[in-house]
Amino acid sequence: MQRSVSHYRNIHSTAALESLGHRVVNNFQAASISSNKLFCSMALARARLPTPKTLLAFTEDSALSSLKSLGYPAVLKPVVGSWGRLSALLKDIDAARAVLEDREYMYPMYQVYYLQEFVKRPPRDIRSFVIGEQTVAAIYRNASSDDWRTNTARGGKAEKCPITSQLDELSLKATKAVGGEIVGVDLMETPDGLVVHEVNNTTEFKNTVPATGVDIPSIIVDYLVSIQKR
């Protein structure tokens, strides 16, 4: 089972292990898709899942044009990254120009401009946990009072979330869309229902177990043993 939280170490070690004939959970294809926000968004769109409106740009000018189309506020995220790092809430064109100018002098990956509408949602999102073909747990991630991001690594608080039929259906479809086996699915509540915005390849669960009472590590081990016997 692949548990490295380092993106590059994760996908490269998975590729190396698979080349030697080992089965890795999650496999290289699933890891490559889900660990890149752009690739993940495209996979979710192909599966016809509801997602936030997302635009892609490769230059500062085209990014500003895309933001004009999206409207402010909007969100700029790195295509590869976790824990909300380098995600920026762009409240107006002046903020956008300042952030984009910084990005132009950073590593080239940060000049792939992944731009997303700022979804009108409660100050929280939902993280569901899928193991095999079962949604085993879900939490609300409530944003702290001084941050719009909900990541628990940034102070977001975990709270048990009921697994509704819609949440279960979207979680399983999102997992299938990226070809994953053990993943975390991030969703947001909108006036029109849930939207899926990310799938996480090596999702963490240290805050979810106490919040939900679900023994996720045990379920993972049972799943790994079950597929080994097939």
- Let me know if residue 29 belongs to a domain: no
What is the pLDDT at residue 28? Answer: 98
Residue 98 sits in a domain whose CATH number is: 3.30.1490.20
Phi, psi of 213 (to 5 degrees): 80, 5
How high is the pLDDT of residue 230? 67
Predicted confidence at residue 84, as pLDDT, reads 78
Residue 65 belongs to what domain range? 54-117
- Most confident range, picked from 1-5, 202-206, 215-219: 215-219
Number of domains within the chain: 2
Query: How high is the pLDDT of residue 154?
Result: 61
Paired tokens of 77: 């995220």
Burial of 118 (0-12, 13-18, 19+ CB in 10 A): middle
* Mean pLDDT over each residue of the chain, to the nearest integer: 93
Lowest mean pLDDT among 18-22, 74-78, 102-106, 141-145: 141-145
pLDDT score of 156 more than 90: no
Q: What percent of the chain has pLDDT over 90?
A: 80
